[in-house]
Amino acid sequence: MSGTITAGVDGTDHSLAAAVWAAAEARRRDAELRLVHAWIWRPLDLPIAADADTQERWAHDLLRAAESRVAAAEPGVPLSAHVLPDDAVPALVDETRRTGLLVLGSRGHGALVGYLVGSVALHVLRQAEGPVVLVRDPGEADEEPSPAPDEVVVGVDAVAEDAGPVLEFAFAAARTRGARLRAVRAWSLPPVFAWSPGSLHLADEAGGFEPLEKRRLAEALLPWRRAYPDVEVAEHVEMGSGAQVLLSAGGRAALLVVGRRTAGPHGLQRVGHVTHAVLHHASCPVAVVPHP
């Protein structure tokens, strides 16, 4: 894992909150924090449009303000700031190739309405080659703040080797925080037409569908329990939709970790429906980790 964490800033409150969160994460990991702002000169035929030098100065002023906020919140964290000469999406996607973690802000409007995930963040998530964390400004939450959360929650949909990158990220995040890891697997009864003698035999052998899902979760976690013996793990298997179960188990966690397949059907890059729902409605930071 790279010793650098990158935060994208654009001067908004939620991006500054993300930068402060990224600085705390850099302190926990003993990593360097890289603040970036994407800017490219595009002349506009408008009477209020500033010239290139003025706009570039604004970009550097924005980064200096973010540096001051971060330095005040997390003094001592190694820090650098960079203007990226490109449009936001390609610039931030490129950052995911060079950094251990990309952190972005996301507007929040309370638990009922949820996140307003901007188009830039969604486009970056679809193309990112590394983990991306979306952070909501805690000052925008409608509800009273909860006590300091002591769990990292990870959704385990894929099993065996497919779950590796997601579980590795979640276990490492729990270790750096000294937190418990709650591994969540949601399940539902398969439709009758999907039943096969093989699947029915496996369920019967395990004592039912829920014990079968518990066994699958335990098998997926086993190598990571061995790799991180100091991390306390709670296994959570519940019948219901993936999004509802995850939000119920992890809405107030320190961090909620979900996966994103690097290629969907027909090679399309997309954010799955469970991940999309979690991004819009979780009140805690959400890490999206690409996996095969």
Tens of pLDDT along the chain (292 residues)?
458 999 999 988 989 999 999 999 999 999 999 999 998 877 665 555 567 888 888 899 999 999 999 999 999 999 999 999 999 999 999 999 999 999 999 864 434 333 445 678 888 999 999 999 999 877 655 454 454 568 999 999 866 567 799 999 999 999 999 999 999 999 876 554 445 555 544 554 555 568 888 988 999 999 999 999 999 999 999 988 888 999 998 867 999 999 988 765 544 466 778 888 888 888 899 999 998 7
Name the token pair of 114.
Answer: 């949820």
Strands (E), the chain: 4-8, 32-38, 79-84, 101-108, 115-116, 132-136, 151-155, 180-187, 233-239, 255-261, 286-291
Name the token pair of 245.
Answer: 């179960």
pLDDT at 239: 87
pTM of the model: 0.85
How many angstroms separate the CA atoms of 235 and 214, rounded?
Answer: 8
CA contacts within 13 A on the Cβ side of 34: 18
Name the token pair of 109.
Answer: 């409007």
For residue 32, report the phi and psi dihedrals to the nearest 5 degrees: -90, 145
| Domain range summary for the chain, segments of one domain joined by + | 1-144, 146-292
pLDDT at 53: 83
Pick one of 2.40.30.10, 1.10.287.70, 3.10.580.10, 3.40.50.12370 as the CATH number of 146-292: 3.40.50.12370
Pick one of 2.30.40.10, 3.40.50.620, 3.30.360.10, 3.60.20.10 as the CATH number of 1-144: 3.40.50.620
What is the residue whose two structure tokens read 């890490």?
A: 287
Radius of gyration of the chain (CA): 21
Q: Are 126 and 276 in contact (CB under 8 A)?
A: no
Task: Please determine whether the domains at 1-144 and 146-292 fall in the same fold group of CATH.
Answer: yes
